[in-house]
A and B are shown apart, each in its own frame.
Chain A
């Protein structure tokens, strides 16, 4: 297969093009869809602003500091949701056997699913998330160093990879247990909400599980501390904020392994 790699890329590009054509066939309705989709993301950010209407600090963090956490979280989640979020539909593909059709094509199963379902209307959320991050970082009075300049780019990317891995890993459960949607949602959306606040507002085992058991503290909280140059009120050393890309990589490797095992375990349906 001499032409394999170039050919494969062209194949994925063709799938993406078809998806774009199908979704934008009705232009007005697509535009309304795009605009309407920003809604829930805006609401998440507004919630934080409303809280600061009644308090000056949240878990020991000011509004400007908290907004860096919010910006990192919103941006990472929105982009991951755009690119990978529709893997949530996997249980339906498994249940209806449509996954069979994906497996008999000469392309990777995961990229195919993602491209065939790419929800372009969610592009508005990603743009909004990025805007929140840019404004928040700009307003936070960060003392820029070359390392922080790198981190401000790497951290949201690592967050995208991390959330993407969570989406894939939780969806993979449906290969064993078809009705796993609620469990998957509680981890992904629970994780998103968790990363929208400084983790100091949470307590006890809940914080321990989400922050370090599942790793959500590395999406926004620790990178925000590193950008702001703040010591961790919970006592972890300053360098922890720089480990976000490493944590994301570990998550991605874990998700890939889970996916591979899941596909091998796929049982298809009756006929």
Chain B
């Protein structure tokens, strides 16, 4: 047995949608939300699952947690079949769906936590220890006595995270955990998840629109589009594969008579009438380029611009999907 916590083979989900085609006529159409996803996630891994709206991220997560029954394919989470063994699996995974609450709306937040101890049959001591840790890391004390419906979104999300962790899950699924949060709450949530990931025994799978989440947290990035995995690997591998490069920006005292040709670092663009040259670092190192430029004289300042994941992914979506791409990429759900 391998130590993979999540194993998916050829996972598919189709929906039948009825479309109005005339005054009274309706036509059934099959829509494939998830189209053959193969995935293996090792214990302790932090996996970012991204894709445009409608790419099938949430649907996949719901098949991992036993909410939705797959149309085809195999899936095992913690060695269990999610739908058939739903309640057993629920004891071992935690779920935060950004737009669905696990908390009791009318009860104080603290009461929800107490209830969840019974729901998940957690020994009192373990529950208290985990709650103490979350209270410290997520600053819950100020609003533990407030009914959940009166919490701000940021406070509620911190409550949701705690609620999902009180039974010590092996895998934590997060669907858009930072959506709609202000900067401070976002940082609190990311900091907390980072901490959790570094501790190493919880596997984290998170879907998000916010690539900053991924850059801070996830060593591995899975990009899905139209229900298929279009990239699976590290962020660096994504840059490599899609040709996103670090840029070297050179400011000059005076424009050069003609643009320099540097091996391994083609000129990306010129700005400010040739006072600023931007090179793409392909095979050349920073030192070589700087040395070459210095040799040409008049070098005033140099800076390096790291590639932007957002940029790469946007390009990835565009290249992968010409059809109805824009309507899928707008905001909302």
Taking CB atoms, residues of chain B closer than 8 Å to A14 are 115, 118-119
State in angstroms the CA–CA spacing of A13 and B118 once bound together: 9
Are A10 and B67 in touch, CB under 8 angstroms? no
| C-alpha gap A270/B55 in the complex (Å) | 11
Name B115's contact: one of A15, A108, A267, A271 (CB within 8 Å). Answer: A15
Q: Quick check: is B292 within 8 A (CB to CB) of the other chain?
A: no
Interface string of B10-45 (1 = CB under 8 A from A): 000001000000000000000000000000000000
Within 8 A of B (CB), among A252-271: 264-268, 270-271
Chain A 6-47 residues near chain B, CB threshold 8 A: 7-8, 10-11, 13-15, 18, 21-22, 25
Query: Given A264-B69, A266-B67 in contact, is the A104-B102 Cβ separation under 8 Å?
Result: yes
Give the chain A neighbours of B121 by CB distance below 8 A.
3-4, 7-8, 10-11, 106
Contact of B106 with A by CB under 8 A: yes
- What separation, in Å, do the CA atoms of A3 and B121 have in the docked complex? 9
Q: Is B317 an interface residue (CB 8 A)?
A: no
Kindly state whether residue A127 has any CB partner on chain B within 8 Å: no
A103 contacts B67, C-beta separation under 8 Å: yes
Bound together, the chains give a CA A14 to CA B59 distance in angstroms of 31
**A93-134 CB contact bits vs B (8 Å, 1 = yes)?**
000011011011111100000000000000000000000000
A100 and B115 contact, CB distance less than 8 A: no
Task: Determine whether A50 belongs to the interface, using a CB cutoff of 8 Å to chain B.
Answer: no
What residues of B have a CB within 8 angstroms of the CB of A153 in the complex?
none
- The smallest beta-carbon distance between A200 and chain B, in angstroms, is 41
Query: Chain B residues near A98 (CB, 8 Å)?
Result: 100
Q: From residue 111 to 131 of chain B, which have CB atoms closer than 8 A to chain A? A: 111, 115, 118-121
Across the interface, B100 reaches (CB within 8 A) one of A3, A10, A97, A265, namely A97
Give the distance in Å from the alpha carbon of A164 to the alpha carbon of B90 in the complex.
27
Asked, given contacts A14-B119, A18-B115, A98-B100, whether A104 binds B67 with beta carbons under 8 Å apart, the answer is yes
B119 in complex: contacting residue of A15, A22, A265, A268, CB < 8 Å: A15
**Is A271's CB under 8 angstroms from B83's CB?**
no
- Give the residues in chain A near B90, CB-CB below 8 Å: 104-106
Main secondary structure of the interface of A (DSSP, over half): helix
Total residues of chain B contacting the partner, CB 8 A:
34
A265 to B118, CA, bound (A): 29
Q: How many A-B residue pairs have CB under 8 A?
A: 86
In the complex, whether B88 has a CB less than 8 A from a CB of chain A is yes
Indicate if the CB atoms of A108 and B87 lie closer than 8 Å: yes
Chain A residue with the shortest CB-CB distance to B66: A103
Q: How many angstroms from the CA of A20 to the CA of B287 in the assembled complex?
A: 71
Distance from A34 Cβ to chain B, minimum over Cβ atoms (Å): 18
User: Taking each of A18, A100, A265, A271, which has the highest tally of chain B beta carbons within 10 Å of its own beta carbon?
Assistant: A271
List B residues 64-109 near A (Cβ within 8 Å): 65-69, 83, 86-88, 90-91, 93, 95, 97, 99-102, 104, 106-107
Task: For residue A117, give the distance in angstroms from its CB to the closest CB of chain B.
Answer: 12
In B211-238, the 8 Å CB interface with A consists of none
**Closest CB of chain A to B332's CB: distance in Å?**
9
Give the chain A neighbours of B118 by CB distance below 8 A: 10-11, 13-15
B251 at the binding interface (Cβ < 8 Å): no
Residue of B nearest to A23 (CB): B106
Nearest neighbor of B123 in chain A, beta-carbon distance: A3
A residues contacting B by CB (< 8 A) are: 1, 3-4, 7-8, 10-11, 13-15, 18, 21-22, 25, 97-98, 100-101, 103-108, 264-268, 270-271
Show 11 A/B contacts (Cβ-Cβ < 8 Å), sorted by A.
Answer: A15-B118, A18-B104, A21-B107, A104-B93, A106-B88, A106-B91, A107-B87, A264-B83, A267-B68, A268-B59, A271-B58
